[in-house]
Structure 1
Amino acid sequence: MTNKHWALPAIAAAAAVTLAGCGTSEGPEKESVADSTLTVTDSRGQKVTLDGPAKRVVGTEWNVVESLITLGVAPVGVADVKGYTAYDTAAPLPDGVTDIGTRGEPSVDTVAGLKPDLIVATDDLSGSAIKQLSKVAPLIVVKAADAGRQIDRMTDNVNLIAEATGTQDKAKAEIATFRQKLADGRKELAAAGLEGEKVAFADGWKEGSQVSVRPFVKGSLLTDVNTELGLVSPWTMKGDKAYGLAATDVEGLTKIGDSTFVYIANDSDGGDPFADGLKDNAVWKSLPFVKKGDVHRLPDGVWMFGGTASMRQYVDAVVDALTK
């Protein structure tokens, strides 16, 4: 595996976990306590009961961490702080946040030491990890991705996290701001004569002399955002059912014809696989968009699997790249 892989969503099979429900009591004092509790239903259909809106929250995946910060909830624990800092600049981490380990294998002991009110995970986390963490504190699971409805899935996740943290008003405002960003971006592209422009988004990595290309095809979050912006994806291959991602190589780029090619790389993790990794590749140099200069690297730190803040950042970046 190359270093690039640590930046990808930690994909693993998810399993449902049964959490203990709160008991009731006939005593008036305990009834008062029970009245202050909050029960939310997560993406598994699990009802999770909290003592009230969560304040001390741990996030095991970067998209949920981003959403917490966007909603004004400073997480006390985050998986892979260094990676988040490099890859998700839309919602910077507060000072003093504790690193709980990797996104695929968070440290149960570290999480327990933080005494969280709530743990937020995605269904990319393994069932065994979810089961262990649910013994530490109340845990809700959000669905990481859904290639049938990526934007709605993203906003559903924001709303669920807001419900658990008592930040529904902030969620409503954040989602409205995101929707307005889409509308404004579409108007700006249309004004520049770019309505219906063919834009192929991908990322990639170099291993040895081989450059692997990962197209974001129909059903991916970024392609869904591009569609809302009035852009058209030239990718014809099918992606996976969760993320809408496919796989190809430089030869596969010949199939997208006279399109604009947009990508994200990261100097802290492998550099630029296209401009650097393919600079001497004859196929790459023969591509129409390379010859015409219709290749755009977007800024580092736009997280391609993020929440509303990352997607607002992406809209600004792609609109700027296409109109400058």
Structure 2
Amino acid sequence: MMRFDLRHRPRRLTGVPGWLWLGWLWLAAAPAMADDNGGLVALDWTLAETLVALDMPPDGVAQVSDYHSWVGEPRLPGSVMDIGLRAQPNVELLAQLDPAHILISPMLGYLAPRLERIGTVDTWAIYTPQGATWSQILHLTRELGAAYGRQDEAEAAIAATEARFETLRRALPEEMPPLLVVQFMDERHVRVFGEHGLFQAVLDRLDLENAWQGETNHWGFSLVGLEALLGLDARLVVVEPYPVGIEEKLATSALWQRHPSVRDGSMITLPPVWSFGALPSAQRFAELLAGALADS
């Protein structure tokens, strides 16, 4: 959105043709548009990481330390202000930042009436029941680029990611067992990732088989007990972070230790990747997974 402050409009010169005047007025307003787009705040981490990838990091992000714990990379610049909880942002800090745009996901739509008193609220959706996950990720990247003047950066990021996927795919060993990608919720339950999710989209692009063919929600995971994993002949891929104290409990869990991938030591543990992310998280997961598979 362009905000042109009429209090500082240039004085019209007499004798200047109307068409030339209008052209000059547009050029004068153009820098204001760039500055306006720079005033961005993101409550949603998927939107925040995408803005960083488009070389326009937001001025404020919700729960910055948790972003780094769960998303990992891309890192947020040190200048980014922590604006409080995603579900309950600090409106005083937001007002102090005075952003032109506040980016949220549909899940946070109930905050819009309050946030609209501070800046324009832009709602961006991803992981909806309609459409393939990868197509939605590309669409979000392009739409954000178009909305905030980063079309070239969006296309460059997409091209670089897809080229990197191809390079990683070619470097993988030819014979790979099915994989089972999980993330621990507690000592007896995991999210197991499959259809509709970011991790599945990456596995597809790397030509890797997912051992989990069960149902998933529109976020691409199902919450299951550890016993649901025992009958699957697959290599485990555990995505951190572990809940506090869980690793110690798993070391003595007879149920967990029964899984073949745990017994034979083939289990892979990856650093945090935002499983609900977009292009940056997709490439991070691909890099970490391909590196671990190549090393082993």
TM-score range normalised by the length of the shorter chain = 0.7 to 0.9
What does 1:29-68 align with in structure 2 at a 5 Å threshold?
Answer: 32=25, 51=33, 54-68=37-51
Partner of 2:62: 79
Q: Is 1:217–2:194 an aligned residue pair?
A: yes
Q: Is 1:284–2:251 an aligned residue pair?
A: no
Structure 1 contact 205–270 (Cα < 8 Å) conserved: no
Structure 1 residue 310: deviation in Å? 2.0
> 1:282-320: per-residue Cα shift (whole Å, max 9, x none)?
222222222222211012x32222222222121111011
**Count of matched residue positions in the alignment of Structure 1 and Structure 2:** 276
> 1:74-121: per-residue Cα shift (whole Å, max 9, x none)?
211110011112222321111222111111222233212211121111
CA distance in structure 2 between the partners assigned to 1:98 and 1:219 by the alignment:
32
Structure 1 stretches of at least 4 aligned residues deviating more than 3 Å after TM superposition = 27-37, 50-53
Partner of 1:136: 118
* Aligned equivalent of 1:270, options 238, 244, 258: 244
Residue type of the alignment partner of 1:232: E
Farther off after superposition, 217-226 or 108-117: 108-117
Using structure 1 for the length normalisation, give the TM-score: 0.77
Partner of 2:175: 194
Farther off after superposition, 103-112 or 63-72: 103-112
Cα–Cα, structure 1 residues 278 and 312, in superposed 2: closer, same or farther, change >3 Å?
same
Structure 1 contact 124–144 (Cα < 8 Å) conserved: no
Using structure 2 for the length normalisation, give the TM-score: 0.84
Partner of 1:228: 205
SS in 2 for 1:247: strand
Structure 2 contact 198–278 (Cα < 8 Å) conserved: no
SS in 2 for 1:290: helix
Structure 2, unmatched stretches of 5+, are 5-11, 13-17
SS in 2 for 1:58: strand
RMSD (CA atoms): 2.7
Q: Is 1:311–2:286 an aligned residue pair?
A: no
Residue type of the alignment partner of 1:270: V
Structure 1, unmatched stretches of 5+, are 1-18, 38-49
CA distance in structure 1 between the partners assigned to 2:33 and 2:54 by the alignment:
19
Structure 2 contact 165–286 (Cα < 8 Å) conserved: yes
CA distance in structure 2 between the partners assigned to 1:157 and 1:228 by the alignment:
18
Q: Is 1:172–2:173 an aligned residue pair?
A: no
Partner of 1:248: 224
SS in 1 for 2:224: coil
SS in 1 for 2:285: helix
SS in 2 for 1:255: coil
* Aligned equivalent of 1:150, options 130, 133, 139: 133
Q: Percent identity?
A: 24
SS in 2 for 1:159: helix
* Aligned equivalent of 1:204, options 167, 184, 199: 184
In our comparison, the structure showing a higher alpha carbon Rg is: 2
Partner of 2:214: 237
SS in 2 for 1:304: coil
CA distance in structure 1 between the partners assigned to 2:234 and 2:104 by the alignment:
37
Q: Is 1:298–2:274 an aligned residue pair?
A: no
* Aligned equivalent of 1:124, options 87, 100, 107: 107
Residue type of the alignment partner of 2:178: K
Residue type of the alignment partner of 1:138: T
CA distance in structure 2 between the partners assigned to 1:308 and 1:103 by the alignment:
21
Larger helix percent: 2
Residue type of the alignment partner of 1:145: Y
Structure 1 residue 64: deviation in Å? 0.8
